[in-house]
Amino acid sequence: MYILKVAYNKHHYGFQTQPHKETVCDKIMDALKECNYLANDKIIFCGGRTDKGVSAIGNFIVVELSQEPILSHIYSKLKNKGIWIFGYKKIDTIPEVKYRHYRYILPIIPHIDEYNIDLMIEASKKLIGEHSFHNLSKKDRTKEKSPIRTIYDIKIEKNLYYITIDVIGKSFLWNMVRKIITALSEVGKENKPVGWIDELLCENHKGGVPPAPAEGLILMEAKTDIEYIYDKYVLNRFRREWMENYKKTTMKLGVCRNMMEFI
């Protein structure tokens, strides 16, 4: 078995394999087939299952390969598809995921969005620890999954353009992180009091919130003890492509700000 460290942008129809063949895993498996690396056409395990619109820099998959992969070869098959495999390791057993680290980028519109960061931090402390997140996740109609989850830490920082919210935990329910972001945002805007978080975590209370947009979410790390072998060429290409994306995005930001200031 091999574990492959995977990054991808938001322009995909989710992570897991689907019949329409447009997900991150579908495209990776197609690339591995083209390289004649696949010994089995199924993914054995993955670090995290992300929704459509979510990006990642620290996800992974475990697959059976017929030989040691050359990552630059795989990169050539994934070029311009918004997916990068820049690390790998041969393994005998599936690694334990010690924690998952998600980061959310919450944009700030100057002179319109007013967030009280101190209140957001106070509210976030109520979420740390073991709680029932039934009001902060997509409803499980099968009732097969326990809503009890453990959050290890939440960190919140603000700059001129956005608020960075880091959420770290063992595992997460569907839409859980994005609903946490909405809850913290409501408290930050002072639409809801800090004590509202206690209500959402109460097992007998029913009253959910909508998830924040998927495009702001990044899976930063699905942490294991694996020491990956990294490919310098792919890492360099990854950095260059995101630098180019940064320039284009900054240009758009400047245009948007000028348009708003005119009015």
Same domain as 86, residue 171 = no
* The token pair that represents 133 in the structure block: 């997140």
Whole domain around residue 117: which residue ranges? Answer: 99-218
Q: What is the pLDDT of residue 142?
A: 67
Same domain as 78, residue 178 = no
In this prediction, residues 29-49 reach a mean pLDDT of 94
3-state helix, strand, coil in the chain (%, to 5): 35, 25, 40
Same domain as 202, residue 114 = yes
pLDDT tens, 62-77? Answer: 999 999 999 999 999 9
Same domain as 179, residue 124 = yes
Pair 102, 217: CB distance under 8 Å: yes
Q: For strand 217-223 and strand 55-63, is the pairing parallel, antiparallel, or unpaired?
A: parallel
249 inside domain: no
Same domain as 230, residue 155 = no
41 inside domain: yes
Same domain as 123, residue 198 = yes
pLDDT tens, 92-110? Answer: 999 999 999 999 999 998 8
d(CA 156, CA 117): 8
3-state secondary structure 189-202: CCCCCCCHHHHHHC
**Residues within the annotated binding site for substrate?**
102
179 inside domain: yes
**Residues within the annotated binding site?**
102
> Catalytic: which of 30, 51, 92, 153?
51
Same domain as 46, residue 104 = no
Q: Is the pLDDT of residue 25 over 80?
A: yes
d(CA 154, CA 259): 35
State how far Cα 42 lies from the chain centre.
Answer: 22
Q: Decide: pTM greater than 0.85.
A: yes
Same domain as 65, residue 140 = no
Confirm whether 166 is a catalytic residue: no
Pair 97, 73: CB distance under 8 Å: no
Closest to 6 measured CA to CA, from 68, 71, 95: 71
* The token pair that represents 176 in the structure block: 């859980």
Same domain as 142, residue 48 = no
Whichever domain contains 84, its CATH number is 3.30.70.580
Q: How many CA atoms lie within 13 A of 20 on its CB side?
A: 7
Whichever domain contains 209, its CATH number is 3.30.70.660
Q: Is the pLDDT of residue 152 over 90?
A: yes
Same domain as 140, residue 91 = no
Same domain as 186, residue 107 = yes
Which residues pair with residue 152 across a beta bridge?
Answer: none
